[in-house]
């Protein structure tokens, strides 16, 4: 890395100083980008030139990033954007290389340091899917449609969700039986590491899984 360039810090499983540091570094990284319109093309975002604002989609909702100040807001509501989501969106925007999707799926363990992080990934991202959808995997597709998901062809039920425009996640469930418990997996396009580091991928998958769980809870309570 050339001298004077801002470092980046992936999102660690920590809600204190680590998040604040990651956010400050992400803000500095955004300010370094000289051709913001080209970077928008790299991650399928839109640059609203008259407002110096980047518009991008995350789990089927539109977000705005003020350039170069890095203020992150929802496009259509005054609802608060969490610090973790601000970091995630800034990392996605600033680190995107614009690599075309390959159409080749890989598992989490094939990511850099994926094997070591897998227990954390499983507990935070896959376990909620298995707990809430494992016995009725067909409901996964029903909930996924609310976040732009589409049916895939794996396991007993599977969906592909473009959590971020250039980051499709393929969620797979296998229904349990008398011999085996329900199980699940999340797969990625091989290009995902050109958009996010492994730690951020955990956060993205965790947020996607819990968004689906919350949608299911709302549906069950109505």
pLDDT digits (tens, 9 = 90+) for 57-97: 999 999 999 999 999 999 999 999 999 999 999 999 999 99
Span 175-184, pLDDT tens digits = 988 889 999 9
Q: How many domains does the chain have?
A: 2
Query: For position 17, what pLDDT does the model report?
Result: 61
Please tell me the distance from the alpha carbon of residue 90 to that of residue 92, in angstroms, as a whole number.
Answer: 5
Which of 95, 123, 141 is the endpoint of a domain? 95
Q: Is residue 88 part of a domain?
A: yes
Report pTM. Answer: 0.91
User: Domain containing 22: what range?
Assistant: 17-95
Q: Is there a single domain that holds both residue 44 and residue 131?
A: no
Q: Which two tokens stand for residue 135?
A: 């016995």
Residue 109 lies in a domain: yes
| For residues 196-202, average pLDDT | 97
Is position 6 within any domain?
Answer: no
CA–CA distance, 8 with 30 (Å, rounded to integer): 10
Could you give the CA distance from residue 202 to residue 164 in angstroms, rounded to a whole number?
Answer: 14
Based on the fold, state whether residues 33 and 63 are members of the same structural domain: yes
């Amino acid at each position: 890395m050339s001298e004077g360039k801002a470092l980046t810090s992936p999102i660690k499983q920590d809600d204190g100083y680590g998040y604040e540091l990651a956010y400050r570094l992400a803000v500095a990284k955004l300010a370094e980008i000289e051709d913001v319109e080209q970077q928008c093309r790299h991650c399928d975002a839109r640059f609203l030139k008259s407002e110096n604002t980047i518009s991008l989609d995350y789990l089927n909702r539109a977000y705005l990033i003020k350039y170069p100040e890095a203020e992150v807001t929802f496009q259509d509501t005054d609802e608060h954007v969490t610090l973790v989501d601000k970091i995630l969106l800034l990392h996605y925007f600033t680190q995107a290389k614009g690599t075309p999707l390959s159409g080749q799926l890989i598992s989490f363990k094939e990511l850099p340091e994926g094997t070591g992080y897998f227990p954390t990934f499983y507990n935070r991202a896959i376990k909620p899917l298995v707990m809430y959808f494992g016995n009725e995997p067909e409901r996964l597709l029903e909930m996924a449609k609310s976040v732009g998901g589409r049916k895939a062809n794996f396991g007993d039920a599977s969906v592909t969700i473009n959590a971020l425009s250039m980051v499709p996640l393929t969620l797979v469930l296998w229904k349990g039986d008398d011999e085996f418990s329900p199980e699940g997996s999340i797969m990625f396009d091989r290009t995902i590491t050109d958009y996010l580091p492994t730690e951020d991928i955990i956060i993205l998958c965790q947020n996607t899984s819990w968004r689906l769980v919350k949608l299911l809870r709302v549906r069950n309570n109505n």
